[in-house]
Amino acid sequence: MAAARRTERTAAAEAMRPHDHGDCIRRVLDEAERRAAEDKVNFTPVRRHALEILLESHAAMPAYGLLKRLEEDGFGSQPPVAYRALDFLIEQGFVHRVERLNAFVACMYPHEAHTPAFLVCRNCRSVAETCVSPTPAALRQEARAAGFAIERSMMEAEGLCRDCARAEDAPCN
């Protein structure tokens, strides 16, 4: 358990730096499929594809961005298509809404009950989910591990990811 917890605590830091993103995608999709089968809920092709789209990056995606992608991939062009898929994914704990961005991200911890907190880069919109208890001290510690400078906090901490912070600190030519 200690090793598993240690891995989870570093997931937020990993989301904001180069890593094997394919592993994130496989891990979350496998767990979503397992849980859907276990709970006997209908994980339809459109719901699965919506989750796959949200897993493509650690950036938050607005509902209309998801709808556009679903339409491009042949899943329909009406807003209820995306909203129904998002409602299901949120209800199952596979997706979270990032209020600050009015957008959605795939849950990186679908295998455990948790209260998520998010590190949101105000520049590139990347989002790292942390599974730590969202106390101010724990959130500051998780942000430090991610190289993230918190500028504002609720359950969503807004600031700069490591790459954007470096870019802002870079001297002008």
Q: Is residue 149 part of a domain?
A: yes
If you average pLDDT over residues 86-105, what whole number do you get?
92
Count: domains in the chain: 1
163 has pLDDT over 90: no
Average pLDDT value over all residues in the chain: 82
> Does residue 14 fall inside a structural domain?
yes
C-alpha 143/C-alpha 137 separation (Å) is: 10
115-162 pLDDT, tens per residue? 678 888 888 888 888 876 557 777 788 888 888 888 756 578 889 988
Closest CA to 63 of 41, 45, 87: 87
Residue 67 placed within a domain: yes
Higher pLDDT, 78 or 19: 78
Q: What are phi and psi of 126, to 5 degrees?
A: -65, 150
Q: Look up the CATH number of the domain holding residue 145.
A: 1.10.10.10
Instruction: State how far the alpha carbon of 75 is from the alpha carbons of 49, 61, 133, 144, in Å.
Output: 9, 17, 37, 40
Q: Is the pLDDT at 18 greater than 50, yes or no?
A: yes
A 10 A CB-CB count for 130 gives: 29
Interval 59-81 mean pLDDT: 93
What's the pLDDT score for residue 4? 38
Residue 173 lies in a domain: no
Give the domain range for residue 139: 2-168
pLDDT of residue 74: 94
| Of residues 29 and 2, more confidently modeled | 29
